[in-house]
Structure 1
Amino acid sequence: MGAHQQRLASDQAAWNAARRLPKFSYAALAAEAGVPIERATRLTRGWVRVGVVEELGRVGSNKLIFRVCRDVETPPQSRPDQSAEGNMWRTMRALRAAFTPTDIAAHATTEAVRASTADAQAYCQMLVRAGYLKVARKAVPNRREAVYRLVKDTGPKPPRERRLRVVWDDNLAEVTHLPVAGSGGEA
């Protein structure tokens, strides 16, 4: 059996164990399935992300407890965000201490996703404005790039800039948010 088949069999064993247990912690799942606790943790977090396992809270010595909330036969695969922003964010989280836009673009580009240095630079600048990155070394135009450091790691999903549709009322000096389509606010 190849490494990929072994991993799939291990994932299936862990999923079957999670389905058998009424509630479980990372350690309990690891013991029941015979997988390393790091693997049990990674799988459980992925199952929570795709909505088949729910976190019930902390008990005892502050252990997180989970339960299967949507029983399916095979374990769902939690795929990371396959976008330029997703790849750049994962790269930043891995490099953490010091990186340039060129570093980010080089590590974030795959066969399926292209991240240019300009894309990486724009993403870094947006994250600096939002407080996720700090400038470790300023850029010198035409000589060297800025070096950034990740200071706010909020998890695996990439922070994204969004544009909001609002109405500005000069009479009241306030903003009114437009309802999102499908939220029942249309006329």
Structure 2
Amino acid sequence: MAGDRKPAHLEMQGGKGNRQRVWEALRKNPAGITLYKLARVALVDDNTVLSYLRCLIAGGYVERNGRTYNDSTYTLLRDVGAEAPKLNRDGTPNTQGRGVEAMWRSLRILREIDADELVESTKDCGEPVSLATARSYIAWLYKAEYLVLITPASHGHSARYRLTRGGDTGPRPPMIQRIGQVFDQNIGAVVYRQPDPEVDE
């Protein structure tokens, strides 16, 4: 179940999540691999591997040959590249996070942007986000020092920001986590934590 998954920063190893490591292990074993071996190669527990395998099977990415899940050999049918497919339990694409991916991709290409331009760029990508979402993402990236402020907001104009020289850490977008922190998937590290509010004694 999705609700049973750990936060990304807890399941990441070497900058890669569980599903990514399972996917890479499948790609490295085109002749097929057992559940037991797949779990050991990917360094992921058996239940998590099985959960993702079921998604991949339902989506037509993987074929299962055998009577039971434990006794079966799993073979990759559809190799769609290095990135692990993001899938729901029924094998359909999981579109959650696509807007964030589009914003990050635009930031890496344009380097300098304001919230209005960021919204427009996601429309061009087919993954539109709201102005509030764009402003929130920019604000978090600014706190985490991915962005520097170029021009403050003024009447009728949004604040303008530039991606810092070291801010482009890779293709995977920094994740804004509900617990108030920014997790960078490219380096596998929490890069910013919201300070705890001061408590008056």
**TM-score of the pair, normalised by structure 1:** 0.46
**Higher relative contact order structure (alpha carbons within 8 Å, sequence separation ≥ 6):** 2
Normalising to structure 2: TM-score of the pair? 0.43
Rg larger in structure? 1
